[in-house]
């Protein structure tokens, strides 16, 4: 059993990802509004390190918020299908600004 996390910067793909979840048989997921560290520093105007000035220049036109989607998947085969589906929707997830996806093993789940 694993929990799959997707930090989605390109929110125009949110509905497609959720549709893919339903098609594969995912019973539920939680979607949170989230913000990355660089965006938080840029928008707060804080940060005295010179690096933060570079981040501010880089992120000036970036969307400050993203979505974090997570779901618990009991079946390893289903997890692989979901990961492939998300990759097919997002294209090259390794490109800057797309987001990230990772899994964490889960020992016990209550109330599912």
The residue among 6 and 54 whose pLDDT is bigger is: 6
Tell me which residue range forms the domain holding 10.
Answer: 2-35+65-105
Write the CB contacts of 11 (distance below 8 Å, at least 6 apart in sequence).
Answer: 63, 66, 67
Residue 40, in any domain of the structure: no
What is the per-residue pLDDT for 59?
A: 47
Q: Does residue 45 form part of some domain?
A: no
CATH of the domain at 28: 3.30.70.120
Q: How many domains does the chain have?
A: 1
Three-state SS across 11-76? HHHHHHHHHHHHHHCCCCCEEEEECCHHHHHHHHCCCCCHHHHHHHHHHCCCCCCEEEEEEEECCH
Q: Using one digit for the tens of pLDDT, what is the confidence trace for 66-110?
A: 999 999 999 999 999 999 999 999 998 888 888 999 999 999 888
Distance of alpha carbon 36 from alpha carbon 109, whole angstroms: 28
Residue 52: its pLDDT value, please?
53
């Amino acid at each position: 059993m694993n929990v799959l996390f997707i930090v989605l910067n390109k929110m125009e793909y949110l509905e497609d990802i959720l549709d893919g979840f339903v098609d594969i048989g995912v019973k539920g997921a939680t979607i949170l509004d989230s913000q990355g560290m660089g965006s938080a520093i840029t928008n707060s105007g804080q940060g005295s390190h010179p690096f933060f000035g570079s981040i501010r220049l880089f992120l000036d036109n970036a969307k400050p918020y993203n979505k974090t989607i997570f779901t618990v998947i009991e079946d390893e085969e289903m997890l692989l299908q979901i990961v492939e589906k998300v990759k097919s929707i997002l294209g090259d997830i390794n490109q800057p600004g797309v987001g990230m996806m990772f899994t964490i093993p889960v020992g016990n789940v209550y109330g599912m």
